[in-house]
Chain A
Amino acid sequence: MSNALNLLGAYFKYKFKVIAKNRVNYLYVAPFFILFLIFILAPVVAAMALSLTHYNVLQPPTWAGLDNYYRLFMEDDLFIIAIKNTLVFAAIVGPGGYLLSLIFAWLINELPPKIRAVFTILFYTPSIASLACVNVFKYIFSGDSQGMVNAVLLKWGLINSPVQFFADPVVMPYVVIGVILWSSIGTGFLSLIAGLQNVDRSQYEAGMVDGIKSRWQELWYITLPNIKSQMLFAAVMSITSAFGIGVQITQYVGFPSPDYAMHTVMHHMEDYGVTRFEMGYSLAISTILFIAMIYCNKGVQYLLRRVGK
């Protein structure tokens, strides 16, 4: 018994020594760690805890156990629609935006510096300008005969009556998803560009000597392994924006969208949280979204580990 205690004591002594030895490291991490703990971790944990309660914001929460989750999957048909829509949109916007970012970053990187800067700005601005451009797109795809696309299609005789681009449940998703894809070349794209510029160029010559024959081999065996950490960053960004899709949809088709054709999990969450004051229910939705994203991230990490192999 005393032996085990001694062992435990020695272990803690050792741990303490390691921590004391690294105290400068902890000092560096401390400011961010404290802010992270208070303003990110605490709210997230609180949100997850409240998802197990009935909470209308005005009265104290009452314990609900897994009621909210049961209701979501068993009784809420709209949530099932929202999940389906979100998965379909995320499956297009996530990988789509990611691949576009990667391809453009790679192609642009080959160009002379000045031209590259111009292209970087052109491809990146939609993600900054997406808000400013809402009216422009509404104008281009306007549902009356004066909308640009409708005017052209009518003039060429391709359609007889104007297409309701932002109201027809069949056409609507294509247009809106197209617009969202257009503005999805953002955070990840820039980090990929910066990462590509840090690749040590002498590796390419070494690769030539080692028998790399084509651009594709060069990309797969040298370029991509070098920017793996940026690829992971871009992937996480893609996942969060793909699953968090909602605000942009509301801007174009309003809420609720016609026929719930573009009703996403994000909409469902805000509907219950902001409009109906069912905070516990809303937070249960956000927790499910969170879990889905974590698993998605695990999958992406698995795929990224195979890059360059």
Chain B
Amino acid sequence: MANILKAHAGARANRSTGGDIVLVICLLFLAIIFAFPLYFTIINSLKPADEFFLFPPKFYVIKPTGQNYQNLFRLMSTSWVPFSRYIFNTVFITVVGTVGHCIITSLAAFPCSKFVFPGSVGFGKLVRTSLMFSSSVTALATYIIMNAFGWIDTYWAMIIPAISTSLGFFLMQSFMGVVPDALLESATLDGAGLGRQFWTIVMPLVKSGWLTLAIFKIQELWNMQQSSYIYSETLKTMPYAISQVTSGGIARQGAAAAGSVILLIVPVVFFIIIQSNVLETMATSGMKD
């Protein structure tokens, strides 16, 4: 694939190797600024207590230690609800919420972006507009609705709002809009129904779209602190539990640093896996038309 890219790059306007190198160096410099606080968070989690408050502050660890992580896990194991329960809750909500959101919004975005029928354009506009209403003020009405369904203090109260956000619909619509109509028309002529067109043509072509959406959702749900519709301790999430454990002032600062790394590392790992998949879809995009 790299060769194809290079061949194409060679055929493009006004490119030079020197320019590319300068570009990479500039980007690298900026990337270091962007990555620094991240680096610092990880470094901090490896610092023993006596290095935490050194003056002047150090950008590296003198004696790296796993003590903070051990402390965090020891503190977590003393919780009243077993910590594995919090982890299960977060993993469960993240998986169901992400998969559900991707499928439901893709299903809805497909006809709305590819066919014209009464209401298709209006609905798209309505969804896009709704994105601009700040979600914090709708909590009151949502609570009343949740209550009417009897969903307060159940998993539904966390999963359904996560699934029904407007973001995915808007994103999938913008990606599906560029799928060539000719492809779908020839599929119709070959006798493929709407379902077949959706799963075998549209979804593979907009893979980069729903993988990107999955990144957003995983990151959002993995870090979900606390839902205002949940009271039971057994239904609360891992970020909430970690924040409870680590809110102990200076004495818990090491554990807090370790906790923030744990919350960060899972979305980043997923990001790396997914991003390499997004790159793969590029190779197939040449098949369009």
Contacts and interface: CB of A to CB of B under 8 A. Distances in A.
Q: Do A and B come from one complex?
A: yes
Nearest to A125: B38
Contacts of B134: 240, 243-244, 266, 269, 286, 289-290
A264 B242 CA distance: 30
Interface residues of A, number: 103
A63 B162 CA distance: 33
B85 interface: no
B57 interface: yes
> In terms of DSSP, what is the predominant structure of the interface of chain A?
helix
A116 B279 contact: yes
A57 interface: yes
Contacts of A146: 55-57
Interface in A176-220: 182, 185, 187, 190-191, 193-195, 197-198, 200-202, 204-205, 207-208, 212-215, 217-218
A75 interface: no
Interface in A5-51: 15, 18-19, 22, 24-26, 28-33, 35-36, 38-44, 46-47, 50
Q: How large is the interface on B (under 10, 10 to 19, 20 to 34, 35 or more residues)?
A: 35 or more
A136 B40 contact: yes
A112 B5 contact: yes
Nearest to B136: A270
Contacts of A32: 104-105, 107-108, 164, 169
Interface in A106-153: 107-108, 110-113, 115-117, 119-126, 128-129, 131-133, 135-137, 139-140, 146, 148, 151
Contact of A200 (B173, B219, B289): B289
Given A33-B108, A113-B1, A191 B34 contact: no
A97 interface: no
A28 B24 contact: no
Given A121-B271, A200-B288, A36 B138 contact: no
A294 B132 contact: yes
B117 A137 contact: no
Nearest to B283: A113
Contacts of A132: 41, 260-261, 263-264
A115 B5 CA distance: 13
B232 to A, nearest CB: 21
Interface string B1-31: 1100100110111110000100110010011
Contacts of B178: 198, 226, 229
12 contacts: A18-B117, A19-B118, A25-B117, A25-B120, A40-B166, A113-B5, A146-B56, A197-B281, A202-B286, A230-B174, A269-B136, A290-B132
Interface of A: 15, 18-19, 22, 24-26, 28-33, 35-36, 38-44, 46-47, 50, 57, 104, 107-108, 110-113, 115-117, 119-126, 128-129, 131-133, 135-137, 139-140, 146, 148, 151, 182, 185, 187, 190-191, 193-195, 197-198, 200-202, 204-205, 207-208, 212-215, 217-218, 226, 229-230, 232-233, 236, 239-240, 243-244, 266, 269-270, 273, 279, 282-283, 286, 289-290, 293-294, 297
